[in-house]
A and B are shown apart, each in its own frame.
Chain A
Amino acid sequence: MTPSSSVEADRSLHLRVRALAGHRAVWPVVALLLIFAIDGVVSPGFFHIRVVEGRLFGNLIDILYRAVPTAVVALGMAVVIGTKGIDLSVGSVIAICGAVITWRIHAGDPHWLILLSALGVGVLCGLWNGFLVAVLDIQPIIATLILMVSGRGIGLMINLLYGGTNPSFNSPLLQGLSVGHIGLVPTRLILGVAIFAALWLLIRRTALGLFLEAVGGNSPAANLAGVDARLVKYAAYLICGLCAAWSGVILAADTHTSDPVSIGLYIELDAILAVVIGGGSLSGGRIYLGMTILGALVIQTLTTSILTSGLPPEYNLVVKAVVVLIVLLLQSNNLRGALYAGFARKTG
């Protein structure tokens, strides 16, 4: 090989590495692999998967299992953030949802009606947020703050309807959604994948995704191009409300109780983080559903890893913050540029 062609090859390799490093999926995947690598060293047997009582069992399955509620909420959040909005009320929607489910179980409603009322809560909350944002033109962070603050109170009031403070319940339906499995796979995981697929089809196989992103990118321009920005924003908050409601069903099923004060606490923050780790920008204009799932997995893997590593759970939040910070820094073009420049100076 002549020297010049080797330089050429070197350069093309360099460019390819750079292009790869710039791809949005790289850093979350690297982070995930890194966490797994540390897990492998710290807790041997971390990756062990076995079949117990006819279902899969192991840390990896546990991560997927526990990630479902956050991931589903994060999907809805990704849609809202894509329209340059944000929905802080998802945790409260979950609380209301849990309260309504418990109430209706106590009232003796059939299974299908219980699920329908739960999703109905999501629809109503989504329409409410949509109304504030799209019609009254209130800034999304303020508009959804209203329901965020009041939602848990609404949950408590629903509990009072039939006298309980933290009423518990017993329901075969919710039991099934919580710990049930189809074949070897947990039911909620299959339903989670189905929700992802449905949402993906809705966004990418109709023009809804384009309209959502157009409204998020430049609302006046989208309006002049004939997009009904109001309707599109309604749709976004509606989708987010529905996702939160489904997450509420799962979380209520896990706890067998309506505890509006603590159910889904801070889930809005995890969801926003998942979107951001997945490369979504709070300035709107882009929706990455798959990447959002990846973001949710990074967060859950981290949590599970800290717990299994024997590190005191008190460390959880701080370690999580540090790792998230590192992932976000790696995604920053400015920082990457500076690192490359430093690297080039050293080698060149």
Chain B
Amino acid sequence: MTARIEMIGVSKEFPAVRALERVNFRVASGEVHALMGENGAGKSTLIKIMTGALGSDEGEIRLDGRPVEISSPGHARALGIGAVYQEVNLVPTMSVTKNLTLGRQPRRFGLISWREARDRACEKLERLKVDIDVERPLGSYSVAVQQLIAIARALEDDTRVLVLDEPTASLDANETELLFQVVRDLKHRGLAIVFITHFIDQVYEISDRISVLRNGRLVGAGATADLPRLKLISLMLGRELKRTEERLAAAPGASEGPVVLSAEGLGKRRTMAPFDLSLRAGEVVGLSGLLGSGRTEVAKLIFGATRPDSGHLEVSGERMTAHSPRQSLRRGMAFCPEDRKAEGILAELTVRENIILALQTKMGWLRLLRQNEQEKLAEEMIRALGIATPDADKPVGQLSGGNQQKVMLARALVSDPRILILDEPTRGIDVGAHAEIVSLIRKLSAEGLALLVASSELDELIAVSDRIAVLRDRRKVGEIARNDITRENIIGTIASARS
């Protein structure tokens, strides 16, 4: 079988870093090809070259055997190479029709013909078997549907290659399955599909072949069936992986520490039904549930980022009044939000400034941390968490996603909390950093910190939690004690709530 798209000996150099070194990459027609690698392995660069967003320094690209020179994203589209990126790059306030036809509106007498645009939008969605009202604003649909719309936008009649960069990052299991049905359908129509993800399970579920990049080199490629998980992960990491999936031993007596936080009937109308929850020192409590079940809402209510309208919260036996993030920080709480870009990092500010911010707000505005103290704290955290940055004065916006996540964690840790709330601490970060953060959570709890971890990944929760609170439809439906934490139990608890 000839390759639909083939990249031969592609290299790319950036100032100070060699991003790709003579990489060969081929995807056949009717194949789902998983492109794997840690952050900074060169996946994005390879994809950008393939879709015309970047030029390569050397190497050639062949499309159906014919050498092509891809000069721009528009040119790539014209050649039949479509791409959907991690973050949905559509306009939430505009209608689905407008989003689907933006920049290629059908014209009639020089004016946009909205009727034709609507027909075209419906046609595009029909191909994916998505049946929705195209006049409603995009933002009114779930992230999963938005993701499908983004795919619909990328697909033209003559699309031959489709790149999906982390399409499932914010989807729950059902939504992922929906997306995969579409992907399988496209595959049977002969498209070559490049699939990038951090979810190992999904790779084995959907892909036919896998290519693994590490430090800009291709370190392995082959049929998915011939590449067992451990082998894949060790290829990605370049070292043999200790088994992280098994449960890490909980600190003995974790469930006997003093109660440091207790919520009683805490809730907010239309956001989260009143719930009770307590946290002990040295204990990790997991928040589990499907997407939209209220994980983030619980975390934000406890931190005071969302103001509750019922119930109350006690921290170290003292009742919280005037509940706000500021107050929570002062009482020894810290919070890492889920949405890194919107609520987490301060992109223009340096790594150092980002790290010390929470501690500084705790100290008040008058007493500025001295420059050398700031530097010391930042350096300590950069070392302790392995943040990949040339120096502490680089703007955080220029770091990779995983490193931004670590900077957020560093900000929380520097503020010296007794209670740490993590919402999706491993969202969108690579396997290595994932394992590091999981073991960090265990280490922090062993030091007596109380942690509340909200996560969509069951394995992660099972690995770290002493107790799991299960949520469904913005309601707490159960708690699972340490000895009963299994995949089956969690899923069972979520399911049992269906009445």
A208 to B366, CA, bound (A): 8
A228–B322 alpha-carbon span in the complex (Å):
13
Chain B contact residue count (CB 8 A cutoff): 32
Interface hub of B342, B343, B353, B369 (most chain A Cβ within 10 A):
B343
CB contacts (< 8 Å) of B344 on chain A: these are 221, 224
A214 and B360 CA atoms in complex are apart in Å by 12
Closest B residue by C-beta to A232: B365
Write the nearest CB–CB distance from A207 to chain B, whole angstroms: 4
Contact A207 B368 (CB under 8 A): yes
Closest to A220 in B: B343
Q: What is the CB-to-nearest-CB distance from A289 to chain B, in angstroms, rounded to a whole number? A: 16
Check A213–B348 contact: CB distance below 8 A.
Answer: yes
Interface string of A218-250 (1 = CB under 8 A from B): 101111111110000000000000000000000
CB of B325 within 8 A of CB of A205, answer no
SS class, residues of chain B in contact with chain A: helix
Please determine whether B337 and A218 come into contact, CB atoms closer than 8 angstroms: no
Whether A207 contacts B364 in the complex (CB less than 8 A), given A214-B349, A223-B325, A226-B329, comes out as yes
* CB neighbours of B330 from chain A (8 A): 226
Q: Would you call B363 and A221 a contact (CB within 8 A)?
A: no
Give B415 Cβ to nearest chain A Cβ, in Å: 8
| B347 pairs with A217, CB closer than 8 A | yes
A123 to chain B minimum Cβ distance, whole angstroms, is 19
Q: Does B268 contact A (CB under 8 A)?
A: no
Q: Is B362 an interface residue (CB 8 A)?
A: yes
- CA A179 to CA B108, docked complex, whole Å: 67
Of all chain A residues, which has the CB nearest B326? A226
Asked if A205 meets B346 with Cβ closer than 8 Å, knowing A226-B325, A226-B326, the reply is: no
- A residues less than 8 Å from B364 (CB atoms): 207
The contact string, 1 if C-beta is below 8 Å from chain B, for chain A 179-209, is 0000000000000000000000000011110
Known: A206-B368, A286-B348. A226 touches B362 (CB 8 A): yes
Find out whether the CB atom of A214 lies under 8 angstroms from the CB atom of B346. Answer: yes
Inside 8 A of B325's CB, which chain A residues have their CB? 223-226
Q: Does A151 contact B (CB under 8 A)?
A: no
Q: Does any Cβ of A come within 8 Å of B243's Cβ?
A: no
Q: A225-B358, A225-B411, A226-B361 are in contact. Are A207 and B348 (CB under 8 A)?
A: no
Closest 4 CB pairs of A and B: A285-B348, A226-B361, A217-B346, A226-B329
A/B interface sample: 23 pairs, CB < 8 A:
A205-B368, A207-B360, A207-B366, A208-B365, A210-B349, A211-B360, A214-B346, A214-B353, A218-B346, A220-B343, A221-B343, A221-B344, A224-B335, A225-B358, A225-B361, A226-B326, A226-B329, A226-B330, A226-B361, A227-B326, A227-B361, A228-B326, A285-B346
- What 15 additional pairs, Cβ within 8 angstroms, besides A207-B361, A226-B358? A206-B366, A207-B364, A213-B348, A214-B349, A217-B346, A218-B343, A220-B343, A221-B343, A221-B344, A224-B335, A224-B337, A224-B344, A225-B411, A226-B328, A285-B346
